[in-house]
Amino acid sequence: MAETTEPPYRWRWAILGVMLAAEIMDMLDATIVNVAGPSLETSLGVTPLGLQWVIGGYALALGAGLILGGRLGDRYGRRPMFLLGLTVFTAASLACSLAPSPETLIAFRLVQGAAGALLLPQGLGLLRENLSGAELATAFGVFGPALGLGGILGPVIGGGLIEADLFGLGWRSVFLVNLPIGIAALIVAWRILPKRSGDRRVTIDPVGGALIILSSGLLVLALTFGPELDWPVWAWVCVVVGALGFVVFGWQQHSLLRRGGVPLVTATMFTRRAYTFGLVGIALFFSSLTGTQLVLTLFLQQGNGFTAGEAGLGNLPLAIGSAIGGALSGAWLAEKIGRSVLQLGAVTQLAGAALLWFELQQPGDFSIWGIAPGIVLFGMGGGAIIAALFSTILAAVKDDEIGSASGVLTAVQAIASAVGVAIFASVFFDAAGSGSPSEAFQHTLIVPAITLTIFVAVSFAFPRTSREDAHGLADAEPVH
């Protein structure tokens, strides 16, 4: 770890801006296509199953490759891996917008996801590498809400673009959004990212890499397509085989370490309580947040006949609440009350879910304004949690664990989001079959109530305050 006498890297706050651009591109692409179904069906003749592949293929490739992507950054350097991932991601976005058939669109979405798996762990690693202590907490005070807003605003932006039908582009415009963001981020990243070589002593374990890609891929595949297809036998087989694959992966990594090899996942990071329990917290939180957001969109579109644009705007109260909660947490609360901000955020979300439950049973014609207060309150709690949770987790790891820790963290986040989508969608559709859309939404709110209650219990295992340590690595020469 760098000495405290070494000056911090002078472009460290510009790095935060580049990381935000990359993360927002990822979160937009994970959700922006959700409202494009009718446009894709009309333009390309995409079937319902094909649409699931367009939406879920991205999550599949992303979730499968994140752990390996983090380790590649350790070996070859985070700068070159970040630039490569960002370049491929931006190019794949352009290719998606030009896709002439459903098959090519699905293929390019898989490429997008694989590029995101290489890109995202480097962003978290670069932040942890160049910021620490109070600066890291401040960075995540900005980063956390932006991460949440990127996912929430995806349907808003996607719906608006599709309805505007700029230049007759229709659904293609939702992928073109990435081009100006990606090109600008590439130019800035090339200029300011520190030029530090990777550690060639780190070897890439091919067996471990294959196991984790296969296990993660099977699990995300089942969770993405299982609910839509009413959980066929093959989906359950994928869940079981994927879970067993993680067990085999753990055994294989332990055996490799005993033989003196370098495992794909650095085991020492799991000895840190903040990191291990933080992963549990990430899983609980993101499954709840992503699942609730999906059900809100389903409730508006399928339950109340909202158009893509109207459903997108219906997510704005969640985005506004998330921004407010994140700003309060990052600017003041997290520093003042430590881990209590996580508990306060979860309790706020529970209060928002309870308020929303009562709002949904109000008589008369449905109006989004009738449920906006509950959604805003739920979003505020979520924004407060994101800002503090990432800071607490990444502050706990050592510099030589950054790549592995970032890869595992983002993989857990991606898989947990897929789990949330699968569970919440299944509960909502089951309840909708025997009741009104409002009753189905009310029934589904039981799930976040359970996950957030468990999250509060887990949060007591976190350290009271994030570890205070030295600045990030000292100034390194930016590449001109």
Q: What is the DSSP string of 300-320?
A: IIIIH---HHHHHHHTHHHHH
Flag the least confident range among 32-46, 132-146, 301-315.
Answer: 132-146
pLDDT band of residue 4 (cuts 50, 70, 90) is very low
Give the model's pLDDT for residue 141.
63
pTM greater than the 0.75 cutoff: yes
Report the alpha-carbon distance of residue 8 to residue 475 in Å, rounded.
6
- Name which residue leads in pLDDT, 393 or 424: 424
Give the model's pLDDT for residue 478.
46
pLDDT band of residue 469 (cuts 50, 70, 90) is very low
- Whether residue 285 contacts residue 469, with contact meaning beta carbons closer than 8 Å, is answered with no
pLDDT band of residue 465 (cuts 50, 70, 90) is low
pLDDT band of residue 422 (cuts 50, 70, 90) is confident
* Interval 354-369 mean pLDDT: 86
Residue 42: Cβ within 10 Å count: 11
Give the model's pLDDT for residue 1.
44
In the three-class reduction of DSSP (H, G, I as helix; E, B as strand; rest coil), residue 473 is classed as: coil
Give the model's pLDDT for residue 217.
83
Does residue 247 register a pLDDT over 80?
A: yes
The angle, 0 to 180 degrees and rounded to 10, between the axes of the packed helices 48-76 and 78-97 is 160
Rg (CA), the chain: 21
pLDDT band of residue 151 (cuts 50, 70, 90) is low
- The domain ranges of the chain are 12-204+264-459, 205-261
Does residue 350 register a pLDDT over 90?
A: yes
* Interval 206-228 mean pLDDT: 82
* Interval 295-312 mean pLDDT: 78
| Structural fold of domain 12-204+264-459 | Growth Hormone; Chain: A; (1.20.1250)
Give the model's pLDDT for residue 358.
92
Flag the least confident range among 183-187, 236-240, 319-323, 456-460.
Answer: 319-323
